[in-house]
Structure 1
């Protein structure tokens, strides 16, 4: 296809390049922040060659092109609109896409996006640690090596490292997101995991030493594996750093600002925010654990049925922080299997649409979009297929609810976050064959349930193209 022609048509139908504030792209979608969200002609945009769907979410107008093609269209789109240009000589600054996007969001969605930007970059480290824990568990369970083997020693080190230094990883990522120096954020994470503090990650039942400081009893307890304390600390640090930088002369900024920022934030962290964050984190974990164990399959039914609706709002981006806290405190993530059921159910509903629709373009989109959902990426099938007809989306909610109830009933868990669908088998495997089989059964229930529910509900297509 002629990507330049597609990009040119898209710009015109968006209301012209003057209506484009900023743009970027992900694996499948062109993400655009617009000056006026009412100008785009959505129906006409859907008829552009290569377009597989259009929707607005998270403060962005998003156009689905699919893997590979979106990169080429974006290159031409950026050339036409100038969104990819560097700062001009006239002093005009390129608009930061994330900042432009956040300005268009409501406060709740903005918080969710911020948490997503902090935790998504850490996913590879968490997934790697989860898989290494699984390998270590298999070595011990099947006695592939002796208990005192160097293999056990090294794999134990490799698998636990990411969780021990989790505050350092979060500190670096959060400081970048909050507009602070990321290395100072990492230093604060290092302070909160210092060897002088008792490591609760490896010594859960030990009692920390208590010292007297400024008339207060301070427990020398580390924050290895915690999430909320470092988030609160780095947010405060970003405010302190900016405040100090405003009053310190540029000539001595490099000496004074980092020194005062670390000292002030460090004391506040150890005396106040750290203990408060731990209390909040434990309260959140306890509450979720109580709901999970009390409501049981009913909780899975509700959350599995509603998750895709939450995805539309963008609030689901904040769940990574909650899941990381569960893994840190309990060693398991019981939420991710529920989200996985909702995701694969969208794929099942998309397959049903393929058999029901008479529109060749919808058929062309339905198969790859459904397979994408089975790999954990649901936006193409949700926005490109199921939501445009609504009934398949309801069918997917039914399948997700059934699958969610089953995985909660059978206590399916993982030891990481960020992977759903087929890839999630890898982080479910460390908990044994029963865990894998129950996840597979839930996968089938959610997919088949959504497929059958969508066939029963049927598909109401307009005579004119959407």
Structure 2
């Protein structure tokens, strides 16, 4: 789209949501406009769905989401310009607009997902950078281009470990921003939890002041201990700022905040967080080691529904924990199978459809789906056609079956199946390709057997 096209679609969207006067808040994420309106009844959902450039739309709580795809930022800027509203930064807090209006168990679960998403999303580039470097090194080693004993290899391999080893500090800083406390102090407290000096004493118990028991453990590469401790720290900091005189705030507040948080973190929160992280990681690992193929098939089958509800963010902490503790992740290969199935369904629709708009959407979203951007293909096509959804589920399950059977490895966050394929180049790479290909073939065959047509 050109600048003129962005302004054209922006003006039409504004008109169909009830005008700029009906907007109470507007932001965007990677693929969607996220709009909160004053009067939902003014939104003409069906007409918005028919606009050229709009892949689809959905309600998420009180938030109306318009799926644009990769050009969402340009459309968003055009809307802000035409409506004369302030541009907001693209959001990481995927569920923030929803959780305020949800109560009970669902509200609690949504809140937890929102926290995990908003804390982990900002640090994913660091994990991707180090993960890609690991993938490149592994590929070069496998192809015989470099000796792993070579000092150059050792240098870059050490570089590739940094984001994972110092993960608590990255998480601490991000959590500090999320919980609205000093992120530098938060990173400092997280650094205390993972200090190599303390890690070297893992298994040793001491008593602070001769009374408070502290069991040293290794918290490097963990996630949950830092999040819990920084959450507690945010309350300590706010309490200090409430009672400490401004004159000595800069001295007293940091000292009291860090020291109290370090003590409570080491004695209570970090052990709880460490246990939770281990429990989740070992639980998922158990699913694969005990039910391998079945676990992989289930993951590949249900992923489209997780994508539909935004539940895919729940997998992020598991992925982070796997990368930190195992050095690889086994969830991504299953999502790769599901993404591959979705992409093939879109390309099948491109092949069979007689409608030019549908054909265009099938081709464009099918290609981006193969790269690893699947929201446009899911909301634009898969969610609209029941047969395409069935084919995606069956294809994803078939591919996931292979991924689970061989515990296929993926080295970092990335774009699956083919966007960052270098991260799959481990000893299980042949099975990765087999799983992806099976997912694609089965999805294609299902579309044929189900006799999909416009």
Q: Give the TM-score of the pair, scaled to structure 2.
A: 0.89
1:246 aligns with 2:239: no
CA, structure 1 residues 82+245, in 2 after alignment: closer, same or farther (shift >3 Å)? farther
Give 2:76's match in structure 1, choosing from 63, 74, 85. 74
Q: Deviations over 1:353-399 (max 9, x none)?
A: 22333332121211111111111111101111111222211211111
Structure-2 separation of matches of 1:22 and 1:458: 43
**1:332 to partner: Cα distance:** 2.2
Q: For the structure 1 residues 242 and 38, does the alpha-carbon distance in structure 2 shift closer, same or farther, using more than 3 Å as the test?
A: farther
Aligned counterpart for 2:86 among listed residues 71, 84, 87: 84
Of 299, 305, 313, the residue aligned with 2:309 is 313
From 367, 372, 384, the counterpart of 1:371: 367
Contact 2:337 2:396 in 1 (8 A): yes
Note the alpha carbon deviations across 1:51-81, whole angstroms, 9 max, x for none: 232233475322233434x333222211233
Instruction: Compute the displacement of 1:121 (Å).
Output: 1.9
Q: How does 1:47-126 map to 2 (within 5 A)?
A: 47-57=50-60, 60-68=63-71, 70-84=72-86, 100=97, 102-104=99-101, 107=107, 108-126=109-127
Question: Of residues 435, 440, 446 in structure 2, which corresponds to 1:442?
Answer: 435
Tell me the SS of whatever aligns to 2:180. coil
Once the two structures are TM-superposed, the CA of residue 104 in structure 1 deviates from its matched residue by 5.0
**Displaced runs of 4 or more, over 4 A:** 96-102, 135-148
> Distance between the aligned counterparts of 1:144 and 1:415, measured in 2?
20
Structure 2 residues not aligned, in runs of 5+: none
1:219-230 equivalence runs, <5 A: 219-230=215-226
* Ranges in structure 1 where 5+ consecutive residues have no aligned partner: 87-95, 200-205, 462-466
Identify which range, 394-403 or 234-243, moves more after superposition: 234-243
Q: For 2:328, which of 328, 332, 344 is the aligned residue? A: 332
Quote the offset at 1:148 in angstroms.
Answer: 5.1
Aligned partner of 1:132 in structure 2 is 133
Q: How many pairs align?
A: 442
Distance 1:55 1:85, change over 3 A: closer
- Separation in structure 2 between the aligned mates of residue 340 and residue 362 of structure 1, nearest angstrom: 24
Matched, 1:186 2:179: no
1:454 aligns with 2:447: yes
With the length of structure 1 as denominator, give the TM-score of the two structures.
Answer: 0.87
What RMSD, in angstroms, separates the aligned Cα atoms of the two structures?
Answer: 2.6
* 2:307 match: secondary structure: helix
Q: Distance in 2 between matches of 1:112 and 1:306?
A: 18
In the alignment, structure 1 residue 45 sits paired with structure 2 residue 25: no
Q: Distance in 2 between matches of 1:144 and 1:367?
A: 37
- How far 1:42 sits from its partner (Å)? 1.5
Q: Does the Cα contact within 8 Å between 1:320 and 1:418 map onto a contact in 2?
A: no
Counterparts of 1:251-270 in structure 2 under 5 Å? Answer: 251-270=247-266
Q: CA deviation digits over 1:213-267, x for unaligned, max 9?
A: 2435433333111111111111111222223223334443322222221111111
- Distance change >3 Å, CA 382–CA 38, structure 1 → 2: farther
**2:69 & 2:214 partners in 1: Cα distance?**
54
Write the distance in 2 (CA, Å) between the matches of 1:116 and 1:97. Answer: 7
Q: Single out whichever of 101-110 and 265-274 deviates more from structure 2.
A: 101-110
